[in-house]
Structure 1
Amino acid sequence: MSDTPFLLPDVGEGLTEAEIVSWRVAPGDSIAINQVIVEIETAKSLVELPSPFAGTVGELLVKEGDTVAVGAPIIMVSGAASDEPAADTDVAEAVQDAAATITDEAAVGTVLVGYGTSGHAKSRRRRGGESPLVPVRPSSVPAASASPVVAKPPIRKLAKDLDVDLAEVQGTGLAGEITRDDVIRHASQASLFRNIQTPEESDEREERIPVKGVRKTIAKAMVDSAFTAPHVSLFVDVDATRTMEFVKRLKASPDFAGVKVSPLLIIAKAIIWAVRRNPTVNSEWTDEEIIVRHFVNLGVAAATPRGLIVPNVKEAQSLSLLALAQSLEQLTLTAREGRTSAAEMTGGTITITNIGVFGMDTGTPILNPGEVAIVALGTIKQKPWVVDGEVRSRYVTTVGASFDHRVVDGDVASRFVADVASVIEEPALLLD
């Protein structure tokens, strides 16, 4: 029987290439339909590719670390003639499902802390039944039977990048799972023994990082945005004391037990409220027309080990405060694990960037391509503030925002920022 090539599929993200992160099979291995054979990194996410047919691995045509064009052969499979290969659209659908699902949760047989049952993405179904390419893993299988090391693919990649042997790392997660902190801690400890450099090592005074994947995509998007949309930025200092008090009450509420609550939640609600009063900031410029959206897909800029990404919460305007808190937490956790799906990265209408977590007071954020407004939340800290003619200690922050001046005029931009600030000063306005 002849060898059959498996071509790198179009994963439905509008991308043209992907990097081979790690092979899960070797020449001579027998593989089954739906078995994960390789992990790839696109410009947006880490994705496990399932095999569309069964057979024996003949040859790995590309090496780990290689960047491959969509449609190029990456592996040869022998004995696959009797199994009809799945259509390209089915492969893409399976890949998207794999990217949107935290597959290791199923392998461990438990739900990771902070994700909750709502964190499991639902796989799409084909007409007439389930997609034949979505791997099904029984939750009763213990973690140890799958692998002696329990770690998600992004954690394995981090360990590889830091030259850490996962077999030597003590996992502190559920079921002994190795976390990102475990790997970084182990790498830091190991570095203590490498401080005495040899003459050859001390000559390495610079590092060269290939521009590819997320970093390449970020660079292009930022350049396109900065030199296409005429940016205008506004800033205002805000008394956030009542927001901090509100956050404290929410944390103590039984309804929010187990849910991460931070000022970002209130700012997100403030943006949604202000968008309703100033809909132009929730638009898109197309040269031929301005498209004003009457829904909010709220993007949240997330700094991850793979670079800056901006996933978004779909239909955020229809979510309760609790549902929005859960969505923001899930979005953040998924981004940090490198499991953000293509769907979560597209369709955003307005973005918030929380630079306050880095101790910054304000900044001039660049617009996310396709949007006309972005809000920057600065750090919240106690400062002297005049209240009713008296100087008092209050929690103060700075709200900054950038706009596409082709769409948003100065008066609209000013009203929008003022509305966001008013909710931060008095969260009770959200009851309107």
Structure 2
Amino acid sequence: MGSSNNSPVDAKPTIPASGIEDITHGAGQSSENDVVSEPVNERTHRRTLNSAPIMPTLRHLLKQNHIEAADVTGTGKNGRITKEDVDRILQLRVSSQAESTDNQPIQRTSTPSTAVKASPQKENDDVASTISRGGLAMFRSMTQALTIPHFMYSHEVDLTVLNDVRSSCKASAAASAPSTTLSPLPFVIKALSQAFLIDRRINAHLDTSVSPPQVIIRSRHNFGIAVDSPHGLVVPVIKDVQSLSVATIASEVKRLGLLAREGRLVPENLEGATFTVSNIGSIGGNVVAPIIVPPMVAIVAIGRARHVPVFQTDATGVEHIVKRDQLCMTWSADHRVLDGATIARVAEHTRLLVENVDTWSVALN
């Protein structure tokens, strides 16, 4: 994630107090009796207190969120800045943003996830936008996601057999439902649910509000399916996937996707997710690094299916290059709860289920 500077934060040339006042008030306007001299002195005092070296991870977090070390009151030993100190600043920033949005009249623009103040706009002018109330939910959850130690795992899945099954299902259903379509996504969702049975910790929530933290393993497989809608990214939830057929899952994907695009999702459609599936391949891309939505402990992203050349050995032992259909699945997991071996086992079992979908006993009607 980039290199970190291990030098102390006060290694940079310091600015005299008078220089700070000049910047704050304008040249020639500062004085020792100025009413804002106390906060400036307080900030300078914090700069002195924060002279202890900062951990590289915290230095990166400060830089990523555009926070000056001098603006953080360190509560650690010898005034050292801690993770809790940075989290406190981020929480105050989110709360301030929310209050500003709630108390400010806004006008919607052509971008559904943002809102801007009504003002005359000239050509080539920059536009300052405010995150909408809907966008604030993602803002808060992604800010919280910064506290999760992610690790990634990706693998390829062969869809050749699955696509043959889809073609057979389409042909058999043509007479009764000519418009019926069955994408790979419902099969992958069902395979995930079955694979989770080999390690149920993946379908869990992490509760950090208690000490020690608790991992709550969920018995219901409620899968949030990320949908790109005209109103921004939404994640409706398919409930009880473990009890649904592939055909029923396909119907739910279609129904919830339609509600999302029409802006008709209700809170019940968005609540209770225990795991998230991002079908980023429906837009484009192959390998991505999905971000876990707390309190969940894992997420998987499905890349775009594509044709690839593969070496295959025939019955005589001769190798041939054949065309196969493949997609990439990329997992992100919370390393506080899960390890690489666990994700690898579940991912491998998911791959085997998808590649041998013709052996399933699936009710498609």
For the criterion TM > 0.5, the same-fold answer is yes
Per the alignment, residue 263 of structure 1 pairs with: 184
Pairing 1:155-170 to 2, within 5 Å after superposition:
161=109
Per the alignment, residue 36 of structure 2 pairs with: none
The structure-2 alpha-carbon separation of the partners of 1:257 and 1:279, relative to structure 1 and needing over 3 Å to count, comes to farther
TM-score (norm 1): 0.52
The number of equivalent residue pairs is 241
Q: In 1, are the aligned partners of 2:226 and 2:234 still within 8 Å (CA)?
A: yes
Q: Does 1:282 align with 2:203?
A: yes
Per the alignment, residue 352 of structure 2 pairs with: 422
Per the alignment, residue 231 of structure 1 pairs with: 150
Q: Distance in 2 between matches of 1:230 and 1:217?
A: 21
Per the alignment, residue 39 of structure 1 pairs with: none
Letter of the structure 1 residue corresponding to residue 321 of structure 2: V
Structure 1 residue corresponding to 2:338, chosen from 408, 420, 423: 408
Q: Does 1:218 align with 2:135?
A: no
Q: In 2, are the aligned partners of 1:300 and 1:310 still within 8 Å (CA)?
A: yes
Q: Distance in 1 between matches of 2:361 and 2:148?
A: 35
Q: Distance in 2 between matches of 1:278 and 1:208?
A: 47
- Superposition deviation, residue 278 in structure 1: 2.2
Q: Does 1:246 align with 2:165?
A: yes
Q: Secondary structure at the match of 1:332?
A: helix
TM-score (norm 2): 0.61
Letter of the structure 1 residue corresponding to residue 256 of structure 2: L
Per the alignment, residue 390 of structure 1 pairs with: 320
Q: In 2, are the aligned partners of 1:270 and 1:430 still within 8 Å (CA)?
A: no
What's the C-alpha RMSD, in Å, of the aligned pairs?
2.5
The one-character-per-residue Cα deviations of 1:337-391 (angstroms, maximum 9, x if unpaired) are 1111111111101111011112201101001222111111111011111222322
The one-character-per-residue Cα deviations of 1:115-150 (angstroms, maximum 9, x if unpaired) are xxxxxxxxxxxxxxxxxxxxxxxxxxxxxxxxxxxx
Letter of the structure 1 residue corresponding to residue 229 of structure 2: T
If each structure's helix is expressed as a fraction of its own residues, which one has the higher value? 2
Letter of the structure 1 residue corresponding to residue 337 of structure 2: V
Q: Distance in 2 between matches of 1:375 and 1:212?
A: 27
Per the alignment, residue 243 of structure 2 pairs with: 318
Q: Distance in 2 between matches of 1:303 and 1:355?
A: 9
Q: Distance in 2 between matches of 1:367 and 1:162?
A: 29
Q: Distance in 2 between matches of 1:261 and 1:286?
A: 37
Give unpaired runs (5+ residues) of structure 2: 1-99, 112-119, 314-318
Per the alignment, residue 94 of structure 1 pairs with: none
Q: In 1, are the aligned partners of 2:161 and 2:358 still within 8 Å (CA)?
A: no
Q: Distance in 2 between matches of 1:312 and 1:260?
A: 21
- Structure number with greater Rg is 2
Q: Secondary structure at the match of 1:252?
A: helix
Q: Distance in 1 between matches of 2:295 and 2:138?
A: 14
Q: Distance in 2 between matches of 1:283 and 1:201?
A: 48
If each structure's strand is expressed as a fraction of its own residues, which one has the higher value? 1
Q: In 2, are the aligned partners of 1:235 and 1:399 still within 8 Å (CA)?
A: yes
